[in-house]
Amino acid sequence: MIRKLFYFSSPQNFYPLAGKLWPLFACLATVLTVWGLWLGMFVAPTDVQQGEGYRIIYVHVPVSWMSMVIYLAMAFWALLGLTFNTRLSGMLTCALAPTGAIFAFLSLWTGALWGKPMWGTWWVWDARLTSELILFFLYLGFIALTSAIDDARRADKAGAILALVGALNVPVIYFSVKWWNTLHQGASVSLTKGSSMQQTMLEAMLIMAVAFWMYAIAMTLYRVRSIILIRERHSQWVADLPEVKALSLEARA
């Protein structure tokens, strides 16, 4: 098992695996999104207090979860990359970052769309909004740092250190802004207390969460394939790939 894992930690071996896996995850993501949205938009009942407008939570909550999960995943790969000095870890960290940034941005945007009818304002300086905004800045900082360094290995390591420092800081930032000011409604879903939501609503939200999770995996695998090709473009195995060969033949013709 361990041997198998290390086998796939080489970009050369991971490239075909990612190529096989990403369409699978993309299909799952599509099917689950359609199912989840159908449940959320047509089956789930209208909320007593919030009317139809509440339905944006089927996008908002999963997107916010994913923006945090992806940062954790980045920290995980960063730690792995620094300890085992594997090249693939750095590539995966880089591949995760744009998806995480998009999720953080969507979380802020959908939150604003929900906040306008519910709170009467697009933006409040509330703990969760503020920490989500800072998380978005952390993503941007990571992307800016890794793309500013030309040497790919150095970019990976510097990015890994930044991701770890950021991951240590995320809880501190969260609690500091929480004590600073709080208006956001309490968490509707918690593992300890059970959920205060209706069954169908919860189901739809969880399905959407899994759907976005699959989407994130598919996008990451897709992106990491491109990163592998760019970084290994001078190596023989890339030149031997059938799709690369076809391209170079085309270019010659």
Partner 1 sequence: MSAFAAVLKRDLVLALRRKNEVITSVFFFVVVAALFPLGIGPEMNTLRLVGPGILWVGALLASMLSLGRMFAADYADGSLEQMALSPHSLSVLVASKILAHWILSGLPLVLLAPVLGLQFDLSANALWILTLSLLLGTPVLSLIGAVGAALTLGVRGGDVLLTLLVLPLYVPALVFGAGAVQAEISGLGASAHLSILSAMVLVAAVFSPWASAAALRVALES
Q: Which residues lie closer than 8 Å to 250 by C-beta, 6 or more apart?
A: none
**Alpha-helix runs per DSSP H in the chain:** 2-8, 11-38, 57-84, 87-119, 127-148, 152-180, 199-231, 236-239, 242-252
Q: How far is the CB of 10 from partner 1 (least distance, A)?
A: 22
Q: How far is the CB of 128 from partner 1 (least distance, A)?
A: 14
Question: Which of these ranges, 17-25, 62-70, 135-143, 199-207, lies near partner 1 under the rule CB under 8 A?
Answer: 135-143
Among 17, 144, 230, 239, binds partner 1 (CB under 8 A): 144
Select 181 or 198, whichever has its Cβ closest to partner 1.
181
Asked if residue 134 binds partner 1 (CB under 8 A), the reply is: yes
Q: Which residues contact 45 (CB under 8 A, 6 or more apart)?
A: 198, 200, 201
Cβ neighbours of residue 21 closer than 8 Å, sequence gap 6 or more: 217, 221
Residues 65 to 84 in contact with partner 1, rule: CB under 8 A:
82
- Of 90, 97, 80, the closest CA to residue 153 belongs to 90
194: left (phi over 0), alpha (psi -120 to 50) or beta: left
DSSP labels for 89-104? HHHHHHHHHHHHHHHH
| Residues 164-203, interacting with partner 1 (CB under 8 A) | 164-166, 168-169, 172-173, 176-177, 179-180
Residue span binding partner 1 (CB under 8 A) among the ranges 45-53, 97-105, 143-151, 236-244: 143-151
**Interface pick for partner 1 out of 141, 189, 241, 244 (rule CB under 8 A):** 141
Residues that bind partner 1 (CB under 8 A): 82, 134, 137-138, 140-141, 144-145, 148-151, 153-154, 157-158, 161-162, 164-166, 168-169, 172-173, 176-177, 179-180
